[in-house]
Amino acid sequence: RYWMNLTPSDVMWNTSDTGWAKSAYGSVFGPWICGSCVFVHNMPLFKPEVVGETLSRYPITTFCTAPTAFHMLVQHDMSRYNFPSLKHCVTGGEGLNPEVFAKWRTQTGLDIHEGYGQSETVRL
């Protein structure tokens, strides 16, 4: 509820593959507890242009993807797209480069909220 900023009127899109713990946290448990809708996209390979078109076309309000994916997105220059519904972006799993935070903000007008979760704390 706090990190993902979800409410029952939100639509959450998490690009994490179902083999990762982030998929359970970001596509099932978090949205489920908050009563939010979950957006699912069959995207076998991560393609920045598909992400841009999807965020432009569908009423996704909260977007979560890996730091590496955000890096790919800002290299693609997301300012060419209009995201009418998007209001909150999150990432986690690895540290995000400060330049990517800044470029994403410049290109989209949105901040990325970085999380450090359970899957990062149990490494031996």
Query: Please, what are the domains in the chain?
Result: 22-32+59-117 (3.40.50.980)
Asked if pLDDT for residue 1 goes beyond 70, the answer is yes
Task: Give the residue among 81, 82, 85, 50 at the shortest CA–CA distance from 65.
Answer: 50
pLDDT category of residue 55 using cuts at 50, 70 and 90: very high
Q: In this structure, are residues 91 and 63 in contact, taking their beta carbons and an 8 Å threshold? A: no
pLDDT category of residue 99 using cuts at 50, 70 and 90: very high
List Cα–Cα distances, 10 to 3, 37, 72, 105, in angstroms: 14, 6, 25, 21
Q: In this structure, are residues 71 and 107 in contact, taking their beta carbons and an 8 Å threshold? A: no
Asked if pLDDT for residue 58 goes beyond 90, the answer is yes
Mean pLDDT of the chain: 89
According to the model, what pLDDT value does residue 29 have? Answer: 76
Alpha-carbon distance of 104 to 87, in angstroms, equals: 13
